[in-house]
Structure 1
Amino acid sequence: MKKKLVTLVLSLCMVIGMFGGCSKSEPADSGTGNAAKTENGSSDAKNDSGTKGGEKEITVTIFHHIGEQTGRDNLDKMLALLEERNPGIKFEAQGIDYSQYDTILKTKLAGGDAPDIIMGRPKMYANLIDAGYIESLSGQPFLDQVSQESLASMTIDGNVYGVPTNMSGMGIFYNKEVFKKNGVEIPKTHEELLAASKKFQDAGIYPFAHGYKDSWPAQCEIQSDLYGYCLEKNPKMFEEIQSGEKQFADYPEFREVVQRTADRLGFESGDDFGTDSAQAREMLINGKAAMLVSGNWEIGEFINLGADDKVGFFATPNSDDSNPVLGLASDGSYMLCAQSEHKEAALKFIEFLATPEGAAMWNTGGKDIPCSLEVDSSTLSPIVQEIVDIEKNGKVYNYEAQGIFTGQFDSTFRKWQEEFAADTDRDVDKYIKKLDDEIKAIQVSGK
């Protein structure tokens, strides 16, 4: 799902402002804990009058921000199948553009028009959970079908609040033919990456494609590095900074991330800020550029363009040895709204996502990184298979296993990343101090 890890150019501070004074609401009597169970553990759906098998049809709404048409089509097919299997229940997808998603969700929740299912990663919506808007899924039998590793990203204070559809991560996509023609091996260290970049530049090839006309690709530059080795060494970094216990300047690994990012950004690709993400992607495919720093959402686009066999992937070199750490976390998750009037019926959608059948339906075309490594590799895109190989043989870190920035902290950090990319001077220490000052201002204001 496009721009989901970078996800995130929106300001969640609006949501925090709305829910900051709310107390946690109690689950309705029809909640998951009181749902009648069938022999296989799934919930029996009831109509609005509370009777089973009645004539009145109920509607379960799924609020999402899937950007790719293939993803929307897959969701529609899944909902059609669920309607066929569950007479009396209609599943309605409400797709919202990502740029407006949080604002519209906030409005719906405030106006008492909450959807039944909300697409989103629990740790990005921890404020909604604190305010009692998201129902815990702990104890649901279908969670046994989801890997414990992927559920770590869905868990807050010991409770599971979402079921993921796939994994998400960022790294470097590369043109295989360009690498081969120029005799360049996949770099394992930052120094090797810079040497390869210089070789491409000398050959008249842009080392990296930059689509900074869209704001979010600039965030990938830091995050593809940060979410691996640095957070593996400092798993509580975001929590410690947000609480005021520490600041970014206290983490030498973070400074190294920013310096490496500055080094990579020193290789320009022409009109960086006049080029959008689609044009940058095309530069990589046609060999005008050798590499593109981005995330898993690109894979579906490469497949649609018939280029997924021409493009490879490797982890951004970010460690102090030749084993870079790839940051991977659960993504594309769906949560149950605590204000839903049809929780038992809504759970049928989440339950289906956890089944092998649902996972296979979701990953049509093999574009998604599976939550489980026990998958038929023949169904995966070659790019996805390379990522799975890193999971099996390399080093990965679940960057959402611990707390992450939320609200104004998150939006400020992301804006800072874009500003850093746009500043050709990129004074590392100056920018880290600037970031720490901005974080302190949020803490002082109490937002």
Structure 2
Amino acid sequence: MKRAFCLLLALTMVLTLVSACSSGNKGNEPKPSPSQTAGSGVSEAPKKVELKVFMTFPRFKDQFEQYFDQFKEKQLAEKNIDVTIQLEMPNADQAKQILQSRLSSGDAPDLFTLHANDIPTYYEAGYIADLTGQPFVGKLYEAVAETVKYDGKVAALPMESLSWGYLYNKTLFRDNGITPPQTLDEMKAAAEKLQAAGVKPFLLAFQESWIPQLMMALSLGGTVSASHPDWIEGMNAGEASYADVRSVFDIIDLIMANGSDKPFETGNEAGSADFANGKAAMWVQGPWNAETILKVNPDMEFGVAPLPVSNEASDTMINLATSTSLALSPKSANKEVALDLLNYMLDDKDSSALFEELKFNPIATVHTYEVFPWVNEASEYVSKGKAYLDLKLPNGVTDEAAKQLQSYYVKDATQEDVIAALDKVWRTAVKSK
């Protein structure tokens, strides 16, 4: 009996010790995460969501993928949502046609980029959701916010807000004693001086049609804003024609006559490399290409100047535009997460680094990075009142101008042919509304 009592006592002491050890470790146990079921200690499986994002920034694929990875980590940590982003970045020449096909067939991406000038067309067609109450709106600079409004509503998130003209090589200008020309005659004299020095005045890159159409965008914008302010209204009413602004061809002809060789063998990437390497003094291309140019030549000094459209210096003005904005499809099956991503594009903490890396202009109060020299240069024209708002053209007109200018360069189309084609597309677009 004594032996049995000793064994029972020993067993009791062991159990007491085990219990005490267990109780002592309790405070060191990891606390359940918010995603764990209360009291179970078992994590809930993350909700899986796939977003389709369509963007016309193939040159910035790496930057956006990295930024989206940050968003995915944030969603998983804060909302226990495992987000997969299917990112599509077609070439700019094909993007608009692909997007319109997707939207009209009911295969709309959750988020997609478009030119701010296209907002009215897409909004009226029911392809764009109203974003007026979203958090990002209160962060936008007022002037930038106006560029993405339609019918009093904020219809998209602006991304590229630009003051743009043509690009010029400051070193080549300085070496040849040239300053940005303010009239057609001054531009002609500058081209002759560069030619005499063995420097190609203009880079031509026609392999992608959206590049040559930039000549028409600037020449038409300057001409209409300076001397034909009622022209768009007249075109919409069927009472005007491109023949009324035929002078747009004056600067286009000058550029084409003083351009680099074999333009149809040169696209945007090759053109950026050629410009960065000093193969031409000027390029009718926007500062959105800064990242691509500086990747080739980080030390290059280039500027942005307004394109002359007449011999009146007052007609030479900078174009103000929001070239690219991000919209939400009202048919998105994952609207809440899509809106989270949309607002993350202007995140208080992270978006400055993205916009600075892309070399985009600051568009919101949360952007605190230092702007680039070419931005300040273009802004000087704006501050002097030498600027105009980007023209809002009907759907299809810009694409037709792109095709026609390629044909015009190789002399497959005359000025009359280009005028007739653009008038026809404009009339068709107005009638289809």
Identify the TM-score tier after normalising by the shorter chain. 0.7 to 0.9
Which residue number in structure 2 is paired with residue 353 of structure 1?
Answer: 345
In 1, are the aligned partners of 2:224 and 2:231 still within 8 Å (CA)? no
Q: Give the partner amino acid of 1:434.
A: A
Q: For residue 405 of structure 1, what is the aligned residue in structure 2?
A: 394
Unaligned runs of 5+ in 1: 1-52
Segment drifting more, 274-283 vs 186-195: 274-283
Matched residues in 2 for 1:261 and 1:343: separation?
45
Q: What pairs with 1:251-400 in structure 2 (closer than 5 Å)?
A: 254-307=245-298, 309-318=300-309, 320-322=312-314, 324-365=316-357, 367-371=359-363, 376=368, 378=370, 380-393=371-384, 395-400=386-391
Aligned residue among 132, 147, 164 for 1:138: 132
Would you say the 8 A contact 1:166–1:332 is kept in 2? yes
| Structure 2 residue aligned with 1:193 | 187
Aligned-pair distance for 1:89? 5.2
Taking structure 1 as reference, are residues 178 and 327 closer, same or farther at Cα in structure 2, changes over 3 Å only?
same
**Match in the other structure for 1:44:** none
Give a deviation string over 1:110-157, Cα, whole Å, max 9, x none: 554432212223532544322222111123343121122222221222
User: 1:442 maps to which residue?
Assistant: 428
Distance in 1, matches of 2:249 and 2:358, equals 33
C-alpha separation in 2, matches of 1:133 and 1:202: 53
SS at match of 2:387: strand
Specify the SS of the correspondent of 1:123: helix
Deviations 1:39-64 (A, max 9, x none): xxxxxxxxxxxxxx995333333222
Alpha-carbon separation, structure 1, partners of 2:117 and 2:70: 26
The whole-number CA distance in structure 1 between the counterparts of 2:157 and 2:141 is 10
RMSD, aligned α-carbons: 3.3
Q: Relative to structure 2, which stretch is displaced further, 110-119 or 140-149?
A: 110-119
Paired residue total: 386
Q: Is the 8 A contact 1:168 1:331 kept in 2?
A: yes
Matched ranges for 1:154-303 at <5 A = 154-168=148-162, 170-228=164-222, 230-231=224-225, 234=228, 237-238=231-232, 240-250=234-244, 254-303=245-294
- Aligned-partner Cα distance in 2 for 1:101–1:388: 30
- Kindly indicate whether the alpha-carbon contact (under 8 Å) linking 1:308 and 1:381 is maintained by their aligned counterparts in 2: no
Alpha-carbon distance between aligned partners in 1 of 2:299 and 2:237, rounded to the nearest angstrom: 43
| Distance of aligned partners of 1:423 and 1:112 in 2 relative to their CA distance in 1, 3 Å threshold | closer
* Alpha-carbon separation, structure 2, partners of 1:248 and 1:135: 34
CA 1:362 to 1:323, structure 2 compared with 1: closer, same or farther past 3 Å?
farther
Deviates more, 1:434-443 or 1:204-213: 434-443
Q: Secondary structure at the match of 1:222?
A: helix
CA change 1:444–1:214 in 2 (3 A) is closer
Following TM superposition, by how much is the alpha carbon of 1:188 offset from its aligned partner in structure 2, in angstroms?
2.1
C-alpha change, 1:245 and 1:62, in structure 2 (3 Å) is: same
For 2:426 and 2:211, locate their aligned partners in 1 and report how far apart those are by CA, in whole Å. 26
Which residue is equivalent to 1:418?
406
SS across alignment from 1:174 = strand
Shift of the alpha carbon at 1:79? 2.7
Q: Which amino acid aligns with 2:378?
A: I
* TM-fit CA distance, 1:294: 0.8
Query: 2:299, 2:70 → 1: CA distance?
Result: 25
Q: TM-score, normalised by structure 2?
A: 0.77
Cα offset for 1:159?
2.0
Select the structure that is richer in helix.
2
Structure 1 residues 377, 56: closer, same or farther in 2, change over 3 A?
A: closer
Map of 1:40 onto structure 2: none
Higher RCO (Cα < 8 Å, 6 or more apart): 1
CA distance in 2, matches of 1:82, 1:56: 14
Shift in Å, 1:436: 5.4
Partner of 1:301, secondary structure, is helix
Aligned amino acid, residue 87 of structure 1: N
Deviations 1:175-230 (A, max 9, x none): 22211211112222222111111100111111111122333322122223323452
The code of the aligned residue for 1:298 comes to: N
Matched AA of 2:287 = N
Tell me, in whole angstroms, the C-alpha distance in 1 between the residues paired with 2:229 and 2:354. Answer: 31
**Cα separation, 1, equivalents of 2:431 and 2:367:** 49
Shift of 1:406: 0.5
Deviations 1:353-387 (A, max 9, x none): 23443541321336112325996563x34333433
Q: Which residue of 2 aligns with 1:10?
A: none
Give the equivalent residue in structure 2 for 1:80. 72
2:110: which partner in 1? 116
Cα distance change of structure 1 residues 73 and 57 upon mapping to structure 2, 3 Å threshold: closer
Matched to 1:348, the amino acid is D
- Structure 2 regions of 5+ residues with no counterpart? 1-43
Task: For residue 350 of structure 1, report the CA deviation from its aligned partner.
Answer: 2.0
| Pair member with larger Rg | 2
**Quick check: 338-347 or 63-72, which moved more?**
63-72
The answer to whether the 8 A contact 1:225-1:257 is kept is: yes
Give, in angstroms, the shift of residue 332 of structure 1.
2.7
Evaluate the alpha carbon distance shift between residue 223 and residue 436 of structure 1 in structure 2; reply closer, same or farther with a 3 A threshold: closer
TM-score by length of 1: 0.75
Structure 1 residue 278, shift from structure 2 partner: 3.5
SS of 1:90's partner is strand
Inter-CA distance 54–268: structure 2 relative to 1 (3 Å threshold): closer
Q: Distance between the aligned counterparts of 2:68 and 2:304, measured in 1?
A: 30
